[in-house]
């Protein structure tokens, strides 16, 4: 996976916040991914745990930012890896293993959000509002404000699910637009417009606090 | 407000994907437009901040639940027998995984979210006032539900007993100060369990009392699982992982 590198260390520990840092280690090669998947397909528990340790951190980051830091995020993470193991035979190596897992994760997150919206009586065909976003011309810009990580996380939680997913994958997790498009099953141009829309909304949300 | 004509180019400049010709054109415009300069500055700040957002670490129990479920499905083969010095660690993890499965299974009939379609109805619903003239049948249903609840509580207690035995079997792996802190946390949770149990016994049809008791039991299971995870980290000599578990347990 190209773009900005994230710190993928995963310490087997109770829920804790680990400050992210740009890491110089390269992601696993396609050959390494295929070898690992082959071992997983044979039921190798250690291999699947290795796969889990390598990817759970970033997938948990995605689920937490999509559905909130709730027990549901842990349940979704569990579901992601259970589904991944059951679908190992469908992984053909055409995309990177990380991209394939991100796709599983985003699909499960969006399905969960649709299901939650249906349970709470929200009637919508899409998780994005269809109203055109017109920023307030009088909004103050961010240069006049102090914005913390917590402020940004709160603002991200207010984004519509579709552009939230694109923003988290691109700006938070460091995927390129082509990878985001592959993960979300959209065109690359759509990925760009979703991320741009998210940024403009976040700017307005943070400036208007 | 930034100029719509240049907004996309500003985003692409932030992404680092703007070509040289368009970059030059944009730069000329930026020299003249304060609103677009402000937008560029803000988007760069957002991008930089987004890239440093903290990444929450999933609890160890998530892996144990995954491994337990896949083993139950027969999708994961048991690992080869480990060397003697790691056998105890594997045993602790296996106990913890089995306990998680046992506890999870016992909740299937009592937690609405986990209940498959067509299963017995939610305890809260069935504890509503019975239909007139149907007291005997309602009493029977209520009795069945209480029996199921007692069985679930027994599962929890059995799981807690197993975890406590595993934890006691290797107490020397944890330093006395940390062990004292964990013991203190356990006492607090045991007090909560006792109070919740008393409240539930005085109001057996109360869903909040039932949920409170289960929550306290879950907390105890979670703390005991963390204790085992801590022992594993101490055995591996992973001080950083051990410290994170201790910090998390102290907040929990």
- For residue A175, the domain's CATH number is 1.10.10.10
Residues of chain A positioned with their CB less than 8 A from the CB of B238: 11
How many angstroms separate the most distant Cα atoms in chain B?
85
Q: Is the pLDDT of residue A48 over 90?
A: yes
- Chosen from A13, A15, A51, A152 to mutate, greatest number of chain B CBs within 10 A: A13
Count: domains in chain B: 2
- CA-CA distance, B88 to B129, in Å (whole number)? 52
What is the pLDDT of chain A when averaged over all its residues? 81
Residues B210 and B103 in one domain: yes
B170 touches chain A (CB under 8 A): no
Tokens 């249906």, located at residue: A118
Task: Tell me chain B's radius of gyration from C-alpha atoms.
Answer: 28
Range of the domain at B17: 4-50
At residue B206, the pLDDT reads 78
At residue A179, the pLDDT reads 95
Range of the domain at A84: 1-123
The model's confidence at residue B145, banded by pLDDT at 50, 70 and 90, is low
Is B92 among the domain residues? yes
Residues B45 and B98 in one domain: no
Residues A116 and A174 in one domain: no
Residues B186 and B72 in one domain: yes
Per-residue H/E/C for chain B: CCCHHHHHHHHHHHHCCCCHHHHHHHHHHHCCCHHHHHHHHHHHHHHHHHCCCCEEECCHHHHHHHHHHHHHCCCCECCCCCCHHHHHHHHHHHHHHHHHHHHHHHCCCCCHHHCCCCCCCCHHHHCCCCCCCCHHHHHHHHHHHHHHHHHHHHHHHHHHHHHHHHHHCCHHHCCHHHHHHHHHHHHHHHHHHHHHHHHHHHCCCCHHHHHHHHHHHHHHHHHHHHHHHHHHHHHHCCHHHHHHHHHHHHHC
Q: Is the pLDDT of residue B127 over 80?
A: no
Is B87 among the domain residues? yes
Q: CA geometry: angle at B5 spanning B3 and B7, to 5°? A: 65
Answer yes or no: do B53 and A192 touch at CB < 8 A: no
Residues B120 and B235 in one domain: yes
A78 touches chain B (CB under 8 A): yes
Task: Tell me chain A's radius of gyration from C-alpha atoms.
Answer: 18
Q: Is the pLDDT of residue B151 over 60?
A: yes
Is B173 among the domain residues? yes
Residues A109 and A161 in one domain: no
Q: In terms of CA atoms, which chain A residue is nearest residue B41? A: A143
Among B47, B62, B252, beta carbon nearest to A74: B62
Residues A117 and A55 in one domain: yes
Distance between B135 CA and the closest CA of chain A, angstroms:
33
Residues B16 and B123 in one domain: no
Residues of chain B positioned with their CB less than 8 A from the CB of A207: 42
Q: How far apart are the first and last CA of chain B?
A: 46
Residues A117 and A167 in one domain: no
At residue B140, the pLDDT reads 60
Is B55 among the domain residues? no
Domain end call among A106, A123, A140:
A123
The model's confidence at residue B45, banded by pLDDT at 50, 70 and 90, is very high
Helix locations, chain A, DSSP H? 30-41, 45-67, 71-86, 97-119, 149-157, 161-167, 177-184, 188-207
Residues B45 and B89 in one domain: no
Residues of chain B positioned with their CB less than 8 A from the CB of A11: 57, 238, 240-241, 244
Q: Is the pLDDT of residue A187 over 90?
A: yes
Beta carbons within 8 Å of B162's beta carbon, 6+ residues apart: B95, B98, B99
CB A127 within 8 A of CB A113: yes
Answer yes or no: do A14 and B11 touch at CB < 8 A: no
At residue A117, the pLDDT reads 84
- Chosen from B43, B66, B236 to mutate, greatest number of chain A CBs within 10 A: B66
Among A70, A61, A63, A56, which residue's Cα sits nearest to residue A172? A61
- CA-CA distance, B109 to A187, in Å (whole number)? 44
Residues A111 and A137 in one domain: no
Residues A28 and A67 in one domain: yes
CB B132 within 8 A of CB B192: no
Q: What tokens were used for A181?
A: 């498009």
Domain end call among A62, A91, A123:
A123
The model's confidence at residue B189, banded by pLDDT at 50, 70 and 90, is confident
Q: Which range is least confidently modeled, A13-17, A36-40, A136-140?
A: A13-17
Is B185 among the domain residues? yes
- Segment B181-207 shows an average pLDDT of 81
Among B53, B65, B244, beta carbon nearest to A13: B244
At residue A110, the pLDDT reads 93
Residues of chain B positioned with their CB less than 8 A from the CB of A53: 63
- Segment B108-119 shows an average pLDDT of 44
Three-state DSSP at A93 gives coil
Residues A1 and A103 in one domain: yes
Residues B19 and B120 in one domain: no
Q: Is the pLDDT of residue A16 over 80?
A: no
A22: left (phi over 0), alpha (psi -120 to 50) or beta: beta
B79 touches chain A (CB under 8 A): yes
Domain end call among A123, A149, A181:
A123
- Segment A70-93 shows an average pLDDT of 92
Residues of chain A positioned with their CB less than 8 A from the CB of B40: none
Residues B145 and B241 in one domain: yes
Residues B15 and B103 in one domain: no
Q: Quick one: which H or E segment has residue A18?
A: strand A16-18
Residues B222 and B97 in one domain: yes
What length is written for chain B? 252
Distance between A39 CA and the closest CA of chain B, angstroms:
11
- CA-CA distance, A194 to B11, in Å (whole number)? 11
Residues A141 and A108 in one domain: no
At residue B216, the pLDDT reads 79
Residues A13 and A77 in one domain: yes
CATH value at residue A90: 1.10.1740.10
Q: Of A54-58, B159-163, B237-241, where does the model show the most confidence?
A: A54-58
Q: Which residue has the higher pLDDT, B217 or A165?
A: A165
Q: Which range is least confidently modeled, A102-111, A148-157, A167-176, B175-184?
A: B175-184
Is B56 among the domain residues? no
The model's confidence at residue B192, banded by pLDDT at 50, 70 and 90, is confident
Residues A30 and A110 in one domain: yes
A123 touches chain B (CB under 8 A): no
The model's confidence at residue B238, banded by pLDDT at 50, 70 and 90, is low
Residues A132 and A95 in one domain: no
Answer yes or no: do A177 and B45 touch at CB < 8 A: no
Q: Among residues of chain A, what percentage have pLDDT more than 70?
A: 76
Q: Among positive and negative, which fits the CA dihedral B119, B124, B127, B129?
A: negative
At residue B118, the pLDDT reads 45
Residues B142 and B99 in one domain: yes
B150 touches chain A (CB under 8 A): no
Residues B123 and B42 in one domain: no
Q: What tokens were used for A119?
A: 């349970």
What is the pTM (predicted TM-score) of this model?
0.61
Count: domains in chain A: 2
Residues A74 and A161 in one domain: no
């Amino acid at each position: 996976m190209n773009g900005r590198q994230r710190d993928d260390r995963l310490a087997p520990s109770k829920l804790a916040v680990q400050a992210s840092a740009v890491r110089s280690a390269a992601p696993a090669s396609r050959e390494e991914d295929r070898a690992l998947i082959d071992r997983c397909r044979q039921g190798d528990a250690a291999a699947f745990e290795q796969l889990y340790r390598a990817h759970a951190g970033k997938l948990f980051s995605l689920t937490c930012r999509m559905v909130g830091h709730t027990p549901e995020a842990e349940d979704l993470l569990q579901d992601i890896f259970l589904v991944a193991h059951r679908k190992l035979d469908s992984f053909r190596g055409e995309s990177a293993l990380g991209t394939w897992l991100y796709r599983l994760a985003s699909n499960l997150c969006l399905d969960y959000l649709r299901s939650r919206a249906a349970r709470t009586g929200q009637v919508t065909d899409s998780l994005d509002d269809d109203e055109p976003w017109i920023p307030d011309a009088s909004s103050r810009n961010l240069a006049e404000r102090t914005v913390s990580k917590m402020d940004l996380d709160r603002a991200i939680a207010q984004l519509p699910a579709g552009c939230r997913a694109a923003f988290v994958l691109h700006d938070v997790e460091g995927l390129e637009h082509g990878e985001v498009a592959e993960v979300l099953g959209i065109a690359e141009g759509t990925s760009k417009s979703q991320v741009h829309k998210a940024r403009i909304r976040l700017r307005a949300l943070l400036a208007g606090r | 407000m930034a100029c719509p004509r240049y907004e996309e180019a500003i985003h692409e400049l932030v992404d680092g994907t703007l070509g040289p010709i368009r970059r030059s054109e944009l730069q000329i415009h930026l020299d003249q437009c304060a609103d677009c300069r402000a937008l560029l500055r803000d988007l760069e700040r957002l991008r930089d901040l987004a890239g440093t957002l903290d990444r929450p670490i999933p609890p160890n129990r998530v892996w144990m639940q995954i491994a337990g479920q896949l083993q139950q499905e027969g999708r994961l083969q048991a690992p080869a027998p480990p060397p003697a010095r790691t056998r105890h660690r594997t045993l602790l993890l296996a106990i913890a995984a089995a306990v998680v499965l046992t506890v999870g299974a016992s909740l299937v009939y009592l937690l609405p979210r986990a209940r498959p379609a067509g299963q017995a109805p939610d305890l809260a619903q069935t504890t509503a006032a019975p239909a007139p003239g149907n007291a005997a049948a309602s009493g029977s249903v209520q009795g069945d539900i209480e029996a199921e609840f007692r069985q679930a509580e027994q599962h929890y207690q059995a799981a807690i007993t197993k975890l406590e035995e595993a934890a006691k079997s290797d107490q020397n792996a944890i330093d006395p100060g940390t062990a004292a802190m964990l013991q203190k946390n356990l006492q607090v949770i045991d007090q909560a369990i006792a109070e919740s149990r008393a409240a539930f016994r005085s109001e057996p049809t109360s869903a909040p009392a039932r949920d409170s008791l289960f929550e306290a039991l879950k907390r105890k299971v979670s703390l005991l699982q963390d204790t085992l995870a801590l022992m594993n980290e101490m055995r591996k000599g992973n001080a950083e992982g051990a410290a994170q578990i201790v910090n998390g347990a102290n907040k929990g």
